[in-house]
Amino acid sequence: MITFKKLMQIIGLSVLVTSVTHSPAPAVAASATTRSATAGASAIQVYLNNEWITSTAGGATLINNTVMLSLDKLYVRGAAITYDEHSRMLTIQNLLTQGSMKIGSTNASVNGKQITYSAAFQQVNKQLYIPLRFVNDAIGGSLEWDAVHREAFISYPEPAGLSK
């Protein structure tokens, strides 16, 4: 049975506006042909439940052979993404999972388990970048990489009532 407090937490998580400004990523067609046509030869495209993830900083990039996402305007339906400038800690959580990672560290905690990633959460030219795998793990997603087309696909079970 869901208590009133738990219900309010669910609602709060789904509409939480954090210190990171969020806006939905533009929707794209679900076919691989359309996805590939929108990607440049060297661009890296990331899709979350068939929605292209972009940001004003330019979307995904490769840093030290690791796909990194810009934290600027990163939006994941049903998840709260917060960055604490004082502690330099990023937290991503939804109803089932929670992950946290500190700037400069390759280590993160996901649901209490310590995980080491191939690249650190870092700042490049005043922009924060986080490993794509950390985002995937923190939301409880399933990640697939298409090396030929340089596309990453995250499948993420959205909470009931939030799907389109």
Determine the Cα–Cα distance for residues 30 and 32; give it in Å rounded to an integer.
7
Structural domains for the chain: 4-155 (3.30.457.10)
Backbone phi, psi, residue 88, to 5°: 60, 40
One digit per residue, the tens of pLDDT, for the chain of length 164 reads 444 444 344 444 333 323 233 333 333 333 333 343 334 446 889 998 888 887 767 678 888 889 999 888 787 878 899 999 999 999 999 988 999 999 999 999 999 999 999 999 998 888 899 999 999 999 999 999 998 999 999 998 766 555 55
Q: How far is CA 124 from CA 71, 135, 148, in A?
A: 11, 18, 27
Determine the Cα–Cα distance for residues 25 and 73; give it in Å rounded to an integer.
9
Please identify which residue in the block is written with the tokens 């794209």.
28
Q: How far is CA 10 from CA 5, 23, 43, 70, 121, in A?
A: 9, 19, 36, 26, 28
